């Protein structure tokens, strides 16, 4: 992590993640992991009128994985499902503003790839 500002953003989202927790009676529940490093994520959400009304996650893993989940869920909360499904991995990585090794990219993209496992978010 080169830029101190982005390093600070990652640390802030790691220690104080947004949308952390679980939604009871969620419209979707999805779990996945990154076997190469052991990161795990659990995502729950509510969809109403074609829009992601609420989303929460819990995770075990590295700072980049948790921070990325925090940043990404903040970005997509309230968005239309059709718009979320158009987001690319490159856009997710750009939100973090970091240059990552391929292994760390998998950590940063765990939230994205896990969400894409659910039917509403597949293209």
pLDDT at 1: 43
- Beta-carbon count within 10 A of 39 CB: 23
| Confidence check: pLDDT of 98 > 80 | no
pLDDT at 3: 57
pLDDT at 123: 62
The Cα–Cα gap between 89 and 7 comes to 20
Q: What is the pLDDT of residues 23-34, one digit of tens each?
A: 999 999 999 999
Average pLDDT over residues 10-35: 93
The Cα–Cα gap between 2 and 99 comes to 8
pTM of the entire predicted model: 0.90
Nearest 10 degrees: CA dihedral of 59, 34, 84, 74?
Answer: 30
The Cα–Cα gap between 92 and 77 comes to 14
More reliable by pLDDT, 79 or 37: 79
CATH topology of domain 4-118: Sufe protein. Chain: A (3.90.1010)
pLDDT at 114: 97
Q: What is the pLDDT of residues 39-90, one digit of tens each?
A: 999 999 999 999 999 999 999 998 999 999 999 999 999 999 999 999 999 9
pLDDT at 12: 86
Tell me how far the alpha carbon of residue 98 is from its chain's centroid. 15
- H/E segment holding residue 48: strand 39-48
């Amino acid at each position: 992590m080169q830029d101190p500002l982005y390093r600070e953003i990652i640390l802030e989202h790691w220690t104080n993640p947004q949308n952390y927790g679980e939604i009871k009676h969620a419209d979707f529940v999805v779990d996945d992991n990154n076997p190469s490093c052991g990161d795990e994520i659990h995502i729950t959400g509510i969809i109403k009128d074609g829009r992601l009304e609420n989303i929460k996650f819990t995770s075990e893993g590295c700072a980049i994985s948790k921070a990325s989940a925090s940043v990404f869920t903040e970005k997509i909360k309230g968005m239309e499902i059709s718009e979320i499904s158009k987001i690319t991995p490159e856009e997710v990585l750009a939100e973090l503003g970091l240059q990552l090794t391929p292994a760390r990219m998998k950590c940063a993209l765990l939230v994205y790839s896990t969400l894409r496992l659910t039917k509403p978010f597949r293209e």
